[in-house]
Structure 1
Amino acid sequence: MAQSHFTSQAVLAAIRIGALDILADAHDGDSVAVSMTVDEIIAKLRAQNSAVVINRDALFRCMRLLCTSGVIEEKINVEYESSYLLTEIGRLLRRPGRDGDTPSMASFVLHWSEAPLWNALSELPNYVAGKCSSLVDRTVGDDASRKSFDRNVPPFDRANGMTASDYYKKNAVSCSHRNAVARYASSKEIASILNAMQCSSVLNESNLAGKTVVDVGGGYGDLVHAIESSISTVGQCYCLDLPDVIDEAILTNNNSNYPKNIATLVPGNMFDPSTIPPCDFIFSKHVLCDFSDEDVLRALQAFHKSLSSGGKLVIMDAVLPNGSDLNGKWNAAVSFDVLLMLTGRRGERSRLEWSNLGRRAGFVLEDVLSTSSVTVDLAILSRI
């Protein structure tokens, strides 16, 4: 467990120099993948760029480590040398843009393992221990308020001297990695949500027929548009978001081929029930995870007032496991929750946390549906 970060940095090194791309292109005359030695990989890299300098011994030892994690496989060639073949996992780690038909997850490694987040992780122990950060404005507030603020400076800010938002605005390459991760994750989510709904006894077509749906924090209306397109019998669908977001959505929809008037765009505020259309279902995707328990409770109370008797609230966040489902089992969403903490964002909640919050607002947690996307589950709360 304490050694897992060794592999992360070895993968990052292989991606950055292009070693995995070289292996991906290694084929014989019949288009069968062939293995390559470290010297052959270096020769190919130098053929692409004569100025490239590679530490042969370091690359050899990193390649050997990557064999243990399933990224590549070692083969012994006819000259009794170690050579390497890319696995299916390794093919997913080719740098983006090389093959438009093959998805690349290299951006996850480039984002999570590069210096800004890597250094932020090193600040996590001090953050947990409540130790002060050196990043504090001594001219603001009294000693007590400064100390409180100092202890709550997120790990990312401590390591990089600025907030994540400011850092990525100033560092285009790092920002491109972060955005690529977000695009990859979001591109999978809506399809996975629809598939989970179709398999559900609560959210399938027969239960949504004629029902009014409001997507709170729905941005440009992508989710409700997808629901309308896949469930023709659903009733009126609304996309509710803050007024400036809705203004942008209307402008974007009018200036593109985006289907118009499928979902009614509604400016509003999730804390104000008077702005939420009366409905049978409320969906909320990746919104409530950014708010404190107190604010979430306020939002749930507003939702309760807008929902019909027996109406459903569907929270589309990663729902973390509890008890035996958590103990001794690696979980991608739990790891991602710690990643969110590095930048000071609010976090994902567990099934138990949603049950307790829902009960305080007049809901009962009916079910949690998993999807094929690790970033989103469907927590179904029924109005009581």
Structure 2
Amino acid sequence: MASSPARPNSPGSHLLPSPVQELMYGHLHASALRAAVVHGIPDLLADGPRTVEELAERSGTRTGPLHRVLRLLAARGLFQEKNGTFALADAGRSLCTDAPGSQRAAVLLFTDEMFHRAATNIPGTLRTAEPGFEAAHGRPFFAYLAATPDKHRLFDAAMTSRAGAADEDIAASYPFPSSGTVVDVGGGQGGLLRAVLTRFPELRGTLYDRPGTVAGHLLDTEELRGRWSVQGGDFFTSVPGGGDLYLLKNVLHDWSDEDCLRILGTVREAVRPGTRLLVVEAVLPDDGTPHPALELDIVMLMLLEGRERTAAEFDSLLGRSGFRLDRVLPAPAASSLIEAEAV
């Protein structure tokens, strides 16, 4: 099949694909990335370069197809090819299982067939405004996870791995109180709470999320002994009371405005006036400026009824729920720290 003409970059340079080609072939790059991770190629290269023949033998793959996939991924900056061998590029090191902030689980999650099937329904979503995931799988996203334990475990692992480095940075960049209790609502397996409690040794913390999620929490360390508790429950119904600071990290973007008002309302019922709430979310510019969270906004479109929001939209949600937005601070990666106070 003939490809469309590539546009020249400059005399003597490689030909670069057009923006249309970049998007049109995007699923091929994702599938090649998944194949390399599934077969453990990054882990095989963690200690240094190897020939394609050696990689194929150790991974149980065929030399020719493997070379072609790695060649494509090398062109995307994940591997380096030289003298018949492949090595990890700096950008590819996060694909290793034991790498700090490993993205291996995230790659396996976001290239999984459950997401591919949901994405193919985006044309229908434009007509109906219904999430493509439910149309593809016959049930809402979180209900699907609850019914498929292997996917649920992958989801939890991916969320934890993606958050690792950012959690440390958030703990270092926000003036958390030196004492009292932090309640992390919808806090997953507790990565952010662990980072905060580690950095502030006089603080105590409560992790609150679905029972199946908090069962795999990360708080049971010697350094945090006696300073944490874990509760399973539904934040649409109730959240633990008595906290001095409440966290909502990457929770609100999963939900519609109506559901966000329910979540924030439940938090407001549990807290005293003056209690601080820290919402960690991407904040989109309101002038159309490109932002790293635009892709995540489309993920929300195809999976759930949530969305990424602007500062004005967060201000509206918080104000309607009994909170006052005080300030928005920059945070690591694509997130911001939205500080509010119960009124």
The two structures share one fold, judged by TM-score above 0.5: yes
- What's the CA shift for 1:352? 2.1
2:92 maps to which residue? 90
CA spacing shift, 1:165–1:354, aligned 2, 3 Å: closer
Deviations 1:297-356 (A, max 9, x none): 35545655665555432113x2232135x52x340x332232233332534433221112
Match of residue 159 from structure 1:
136
SS of equivalent residue, structure 2 residue 158: helix
**Counterpart in the other structure of 1:66:** 73
State the partner residue of 1:239. 206
Residue in structure 2 matching 1:370, options 316, 330, 336: 330
The 3-state SS of whatever aligns with 1:85 is strand
Where structure 1 has 5 or more consecutive residues not aligned to the other structure, the ranges are: 27-32, 131-150, 198-202
Q: Give the equivalent residue in structure 2 for 1:45.
A: 56
Q: Distance in 1 between matches of 2:59 and 2:230?
A: 51
Question: Structure 1 residues 216 and 166 mapped into 2: Cα distance closer, same or farther (>3 Å)?
Answer: closer
- In structure 1, C-alpha distance between the alignment counterparts of 2:45 and 2:272, rounded to whole Å: 58
The one-letter code matched in structure 2 to 1:88 is D
Task: Work out the CA distance in 2 between the residues paired with 1:264 and 1:48.
Answer: 42
Within a 5 Å distance, the mapping from 1:1-384 to structure 2 comes to 1-2=22-23, 3-26=25-48, 33=49, 36=51, 41-42=52-53, 44-46=55-57, 49=60, 52-53=61-62, 56=64, 58-75=65-82, 77=83, 83-94=85-96, 96=97, 100=98, 104-130=102-128, 152=130, 154-165=131-142, 174=151, 177-197=154-174, 203-204=175-176, 208-209=177-178, 213-217=182-186, 227=196, 230-232=199-201, 239=206, 241=208, 262-263=227-228, 276-277=241-242, 281-300=245-264, 310-316=274-280, 318-324=281-287, 326-327=288-289, 329-331=290-292, 333-344=293-304, 346-372=306-332, 374=334, 377-383=336-342
Q: Which amino acid aligns with 2:338?
A: A
Residue aligned with 1:364, SS: strand
Question: How far apart are 1:181 and its partner, in Å?
Answer: 0.9
Deviation larger for 306-315 or 120-129: 306-315
Question: Aligned in 2, Cα 1:280/1:68: closer, same or farther, shift over 3 Å?
Answer: same
Unaligned runs of 5+ in 2: 1-21
Counterpart contact for 1:168–1:174, Cα < 8 Å: yes
CA RMSD after TM alignment: 4.3
Question: Greater CA radius of gyration, 1 or 2?
Answer: 1
What's the TM-score once normalised by structure 1's chain length?
0.64
Q: 1:113-166 CA distances to partner (integer Å, 9 max, x unpaired)?
A: 232211211111111222xxxxxxxxxxxxxxxxxxxx73x3223334555456
TM-score normalised according to structure 2 size: 0.70
Instruction: State the identity %.
Output: 24
Q: When the two structures are aligned, how many residues end up with a matched partner?
A: 318
Q: Distance in 2 between matches of 1:227 and 1:298?
A: 26
